[in-house]
Structure formats: C-alpha cells, structure tokens
Amino acid sequence: MRLSTFARTILISISLTGVLLVVLLISLLTGTTVTEVKTLLTGSVQGIDAQKTWTIILSYRLPRTLLAAVAGAGLASAGVVFQGVLKNPLADPYLIGIAAGGSLGAVVSISLFGERWLLGTSVCAFLGSISAVGLVYGLAVARRGRGYVNTVILAGVIVGALMNAVMLLILSLSGSHEKQRILFWLMGDFSLASYQQVLLAAVAVTVGWTLIYLNANRLNLLIVGDDTASHLGLNVFRTRTLFMLVAAMLTGATVSVSGTIGFVGLVVPHAMRLLFGPDNRVLLPAALLGGAAFLAASDCVARVVAYPMELPVGVITTLSGAPFFLYLLVKK
Amino acid sequence: MRWSEATHIYSYAKLLFSRRTPKNFTWLPWRICGLVAVSAILFVPPAKAEPSPKVCVEDDLSRQVCVSAFPKRVISLAPSLTEIVFDLGAGHTLVGRTARCNEPPEVLKIQDIGAYMNPDLERIIALRPDLVLSPESGMRKEVVDRLTDLGIPTFVDNSRTLDEIVYLLSRLGTILGRESDAKTVAQQFRQRRQAVRERVDHVSKPLILFAVGIRPLVLAGGRSFIGSLIREAGGTNVAEDATIPYPKFNMEEVAKRDPDIIIVLNKECREDECFNEWQKHQALSAVRNNQIYQLDADLVARASARIMDALEQLAAIFHPKVFGSGLSVGVNRTK
C-alpha cells in the first residue's frame, strides 16, 4: 500500500524526531560518568557534586548541544532550498558567497572592533552574509532574470572570492591573537554557546523554515522547470526571490552563531533525498531534523574525541559525512 | 663561480669540443691548453678574502652558525630576541627589528623589517646584516633557508623553558662578543629564579587557569612556555595534561576542575572585557572569589630576560601570603 505524502511526512518526521532526541540525550550525557547519571536520576545524593554536575550540564553542555542542533537544522533546510532553486546538485548555502560574507563580517568585527559586546561578531557576520546575498541577488535582478541560475552561481562564486580576498587581507594584517580567534571562528565552534544565541538562532530557523515549508509545493514546481512552472501559474521570479532571501536569512543567522561549518548544508539534503525521495514536502522536515541530529552528533564527537581538548566541529562533519554520503551514493 | 667565468668556460668548451674545427686550427695543443685552462678555473679555489677570526655557536636547529667576531650589523626577527640583544648590551649593533618589537623604548629608532613572523626579505638583505637572529616557531623555514643560502649567518632560537633561555643567553653572548654581560645577566636570572623557587617550595600549589584566548577558550597547556612558568611560580596548571602547547579546551572540564585563579592576557580583550566575559561563569570559584588577573601579554609571551619579572608577578599572584606586599604586582585586579 502506498502511503499518502502527508502520512509519509508524519511517519518520517516522527522517526527522525526520535533519532534527534536520542542524539541529544547521548550528547547531554557523554562526558558524565555512570554514577553521576544515577545520582542525577535518583536524586539520592544531594551534595555539592550533584549540583556541580547539573551546572555543567545546564550551563555548558545543553546550550552548545541545542545550538549545534539548531544550526544543523538551519543549514540543512537552506541547503534543500538552494539545491532546488538553483537546480544544481553542488549548490549549498555557502556556494553563493554567504559564508564568505559572514566570515568577512566576523573578521571585521574581531579585528577592527575587538569584541565589544557579546553578539557583536554575530551581528556583523549576519550583516556580512546578507550583504553578500544582496549583492549577488542585485546582479541577478540587474540582468532581468536572463540565465538566472548561471548568473546567481557565477556572481555568487565571484562575490565569495572577492570577500574571501578582503578577509585574507585583513587576516594577514592582524595580530596573532586575532588570527587565532578568526581561525577558530572559520572552523566553526559551539564551545561557548549561550542561551541567548540559541534563542536567536532558533527564532530565525523556525520562522525561515516555516515560510519555506508553507511554500514547499512551489519549490517542487520550480524544480520541474521555469517554463513549466510559469505555465502552471507560478510567478517564478517572485517565488525564487522569496526562497533565496529566506534561505539566505536562515544561513546568515546560522553562520553568525556558529561560524562556517561546511558540508552539513550540502550533504544532509542529498542524504535525505536519497533516503526519502525528492518531494520537498517530505524533504524539508526530514532535512530539518536530520541536519539537527547530524550536527549535534558531530559536535558531541568533536567535544569528546580528544577530551579535554576540543576539535573543530567542521572537521568532524566532513570526516564523518563524506564516507556516509559516498555509501548512500553507491547503494541507492 | 661568477657568471662571467661560467660563460667563458662555456664558450671555451664549445670551441674545443665542437665537431667543426675552424680552418687552420691546430687542434691538439690548443685543446690540451684549453683543458688545462678550464680545469685550472674549475679546480683552483678562488682567492680568499682577508681572514678574520670566526666565532661559532650551535643554534637550535643544531647548525653551526659562524660570524666574524663582534658583528656590527645584527637583525632580530623576534621581539624576545631584540630584548635579549639589548639585555646583553649589544643594542647598538641592531640595524633591523620587527614591527612588533617595542622594548626597550630606544628600539623604536631602529629600522623595522616588516611584520613579526612575516619579515620582508628584501629589506633584510638591503641592510647587509652580518648576523640575523630568528625564532623557530612562527617563522617560515624558507626565510631562514634563503638567508642561509645568501651567506648571511642566521641563528635560529627555539627556547621553550627557563633553562633554555639561560643557554640562549650564553650562546648569544658568545656570538655577539658580550660574554661577560651574558654571564652577569644569566647570574641575575638564576638568583631571581632561585629566590622564587625557595619561597614557593613548601606552600600548597593553587590550581591555575591561564587563558591565552577566551573565545573560544584556549589555554596555556603543560607543554607551553607559559606552562613551565606556572610550574616554576608554584602553581598547578588546569591544562597540565594537554598534549599540545596551546589547546582549545573544554569549558565543562574547566568547571569540573574548578581553578582557584584565572589569568588572562591584556592583548586578548580591551579594558574589562575579559573580566566581564568570565563573570558569566559563576559556577567557578575563581570567578566568585574575584581571583581573575590580567597580565601583560608582551611580558609573559616573550622568552627574554624580562621573563623573570613575569615569573615574580605570577608567584606573587599565586602566593599572596608568601610574597605579601614586598613585591609590587603590576596587574589589574578585578573590581
């Protein structure tokens, strides 16, 4: 019996939510000894140590795990949109210069302003991302939609390269302390996440994803082809603009709180497509939950592997994601 | 071999070994003469420049670095080395320094040869140095190789402990011709070190967190130079077990180990930023007890003779009871 799309969406969402919850639980408990867990569950020992364990979990582990999950969800959903709108399997949230713009913003913030207030770098990174997308989109509009996809991709790559060059320029002129901070930022980092960041990112991802999901049908149409879509009554230009801007906003918000973490936005959508098919109505929730679980798990690994040192989470996402993706590619 | 010599030899060889012999060329004697000439050019060593006494020391790449006695044009490629040259009373021989060198104040009059870790080779060569002092860490190997290839004696330093600094002092004293100054400086160095050691020897060692970066959290580990200073000043390092010198450290583990004293560097943040940043971590007793101190990054990060000031400051922070007010602590204390 073939299930309706709606039923499939529900089923897949429920199972992936289960996966996500398991990942979150494992991540929250990794690093805690068994006895500590028992103490927490039974509440038998109300000593200083139990309190300390709670503090560690609540003020360090929970926010970073949540932030990783939210960032993963945002990147993967944005990836689905970019791959759909640009009809390019290589498209990911970073292709059209968003990451470069965000990096530039962050680098400017770190090296020129220091870090004056907590979210300064985040705000600058967000502004950088948005201005990169604005520039790329402005170019596409200036060409009045002729060869839209190619314009966006080419302009994106060029704008990205330009911003990268400016970023490297600033990097080469800054002191070693700033250099170190910038490098860690570029490799992605959740280690000092705060609830404030989680909240901001969660709001952005929720709003962005909802907007995209409500238009999932239109995204399906866009993939079929511009001509077909417009014959079927879709305002192709307006729809594309909406998708691009919302996805850019999603990515910018994520990049601003987590740094540039590669591979999530590229691989999670592909993996979900291989697993559950190309229908965006199913794909969007799947990417949201899958991305969240994937990045939360990666962050957990990055935190634990070299304990008490930490590895950059971007390295873990690529090292673990690439073989899995290759396996899916061969198998399906 | 000079270029003109090389072209001579080439044209000789072309003439001698070409199949088409020019007419009226009685080739055998000419060829023999030519061969003798060529081999003479090739094998007779060029006349030596007037001999001057050479001083040689081994640098930290285990190479012999030889200079003619009393080098007069020295270039330093690291702030720490610049300071040591001045400590040894050889500041007047410095003709080049990095843009980062700022101690002692008269160093600013010396021409700078580009950024620290990224010096401008052309400017170095243009200054015709007879000795270049370079750090190993942070310096691209190519720079050192290029200088050495150009025949400029290049001493590479990789001091990571106080003992190594003493050793460095004696070698630089030798190569700069300031042996007695080096002995004096090393002697003072040892005395001050011994004084600190005696006073912190029998007191309990507080747990120290030394942050070289706060976002993300990067600590000075047990294998870093700062790590050895912490041990020397009578402290236990939170990140003693880290396998790399400056690890990005897990904040949870910091909370678990709960340091008594937190030290931050002034380069890392402006004004009170670092203090404010740490105020978020009220779970740490160092934060609750206001045990956060800010140190001058130039002081602790440079392996120069001033490192003794840093050591004394650290010891005074770690053991206020032992050192009391007898030692002025040049540190900003949190409000």
Q: Strand pairing of B131-135 and B74-76?
A: parallel
Chain B residues whose beta carbon lies within 8 Å of the beta carbon of residue A312: 248
Question: What is the distance between the alpha carbons of residues B56 and B182, in angstroms, rounded to a whole number?
Answer: 16
Gyration radius of chain A over CA positions: 21
pLDDT at position B50:
54
- Nearest by Cα to A289 from A276, A304, A306: A276
A190 has a pLDDT exceeding 60:
yes
pLDDT at position A14:
93
Instruction: Please tell me if residue B297 touches chain A, with a CB cutoff of 8 Å.
Output: yes
Question: What is the distance between the alpha carbons of residues B138 and B157, in angstroms, rounded to a whole number?
Answer: 11
The helix (H) or strand (E) run that includes residue B96 is strand B94-96
In this predicted model, what pLDDT tens digit does every residue of B262-316 receive, in sequence order? 888 877 666 666 777 788 888 888 888 888 888 888 888 787 878 888 888 888 8
Q: B248, A310: Cβ pair inside 8 Å?
A: yes
Amino acid A151 reads T
CATH (domain of A162): 1.10.3470.10
Instruction: Please tell me if residue A191 touches chain B, with a CB cutoff of 8 Å.
Output: yes
Q: Is B68 left (phi over 0), alpha (psi -120 to 50) or beta?
A: beta
Nearest by CB to A192, from B216, B241, B269: name it: B216
Nearest chain B Cα distance for residue A109, angstroms: 13
Domains recognised in chain B with CATH numbers: 3-43 (no CATH), 54-190 (3.40.50.1980), 204-333 (3.40.50.1980)
Nearest chain A Cα distance for residue B194, angstroms: 32
Structure confidence at residue B330 as a pLDDT band (50, 70, 90)? very low
| Residue of A60, A121, A170, A173 to mutate, testing the B interface (most B Cβ within 10 Å of its Cβ) | A60
pLDDT at position B115:
80
Structure confidence at residue A73 as a pLDDT band (50, 70, 90)? very high
Under 8 Å between Cβ of A56 and B255:
yes
ipTM above 0.85, yes or no: no
Kindly state the average pLDDT of the residues B142-161: 87
Chain A residues whose beta carbon lies within 8 Å of the beta carbon of residue B297: 177
Instruction: Please tell me if residue A59 touches chain B, with a CB cutoff of 8 Å.
Output: yes
In this predicted model, what pLDDT tens digit does every residue of A13-43 receive, in sequence order? 999 999 999 999 988 887 666 666 666 666 6
Number of domains present in the structure of chain A: 1
In this predicted model, what pLDDT tens digit does every residue of A83-125 receive, in sequence order? 988 888 878 877 788 888 888 888 888 777 765 555 677 888 8
Instruction: Give Cα separations from B292 to A47, A79, B51, B261 (angstroms).
Output: 27, 44, 59, 6
Chain B residues whose beta carbon lies within 8 Å of the beta carbon of residue A181: 213, 215-216
Question: What is the distance between the alpha carbons of residues B335 and B332, in angstroms, rounded to a whole number?
Answer: 9
Under 8 Å between Cβ of A293 and A270:
no
A71 has a pLDDT exceeding 90:
yes
In this predicted model, what pLDDT tens digit does every residue of B224-277 receive, in sequence order? 888 888 998 888 898 888 888 888 888 888 888 889 998 888 776 666 667 777
In this predicted model, what pLDDT tens digit does every residue of B64-114 receive, in sequence order? 888 887 888 899 988 888 988 998 888 888 888 888 888 788 888 888 888
- Domain with A90 in it: 5-331
Under 8 Å between Cβ of A238 and A62:
no
Between B271 and B195, the more confident residue is: B195
Nearest by CB to B273, from A115, A176, A180: name it: A115
pLDDT at position B25:
57
Question: What is the distance between the alpha carbons of residues B7 and A55, in angstroms, rounded to a whole number?
Answer: 79
In this predicted model, what pLDDT tens digit does every residue of A219-243 receive, in sequence order? 998 888 888 888 888 888 888 888 9
pLDDT at position B331:
47
Question: What is the distance between the alpha carbons of residues B176 and B67, in angstroms, rounded to a whole number?
Answer: 9
Structure confidence at residue B22 as a pLDDT band (50, 70, 90)? low
Q: A308, B215: Cβ pair inside 8 Å?
A: no
Q: B283, A191: Cβ pair inside 8 Å?
A: no
Question: What is the distance between the alpha carbons of residues A242 and A235, in angstroms, rounded to a whole number?
Answer: 11
Under 8 Å between Cβ of B287 and B262:
yes
pLDDT at position B333:
44
Residues A86-117, buried b or exposed e (16+ Cβ, 10 A)? beeeebbbbbbbbbbbbbbbbbbbbbeeebee
Residues 6+ apart with CB under 8 A from A319: none
Residue with tokens 């993939």: A223
Question: What is the distance between the alpha carbons of residues A172 and A300, in angstroms, rounded to a whole number?
Answer: 32
A1 has a pLDDT exceeding 90:
no
In this predicted model, what pLDDT tens digit does every residue of A52-69 receive, in sequence order? 777 788 888 899 999 999
Nearest chain B residue (CA) to A191: B216
Amino acid A153 reads I
Between B328 and B295, the more confident residue is: B295
pLDDT at position A111:
77
Structure confidence at residue A284 as a pLDDT band (50, 70, 90)? very high
Structure confidence at residue A329 as a pLDDT band (50, 70, 90)? confident
Residues 6+ apart with CB under 8 A from A259: A106, A184, A185, A186, A187, A188, A189, A314
Nearest by CB to A191, from B216, B242, B243: name it: B216
pLDDT at position A281:
92
Nearest chain A residue (CA) to B297: A177
Question: What is the distance between the alpha carbons of residues B140 and B172, in angstroms, rounded to a whole number?
Answer: 22
* Mean pLDDT rounded to a whole number for chain A: 84
B21 has a pLDDT exceeding 60:
no
* Mean pLDDT rounded to a whole number for chain B: 80
Number of H helices, E strands in chain A: 15, 0
B327 has a pLDDT exceeding 50:
no
Question: What is the distance between the alpha carbons of residues B310 and B333, in angstroms, rounded to a whole number?
Answer: 16
In this predicted model, what pLDDT tens digit does every residue of A119-162 receive, in sequence order? 677 888 888 888 888 888 888 888 776 677 888 888 888 898 99
A287 has a pLDDT exceeding 90:
yes
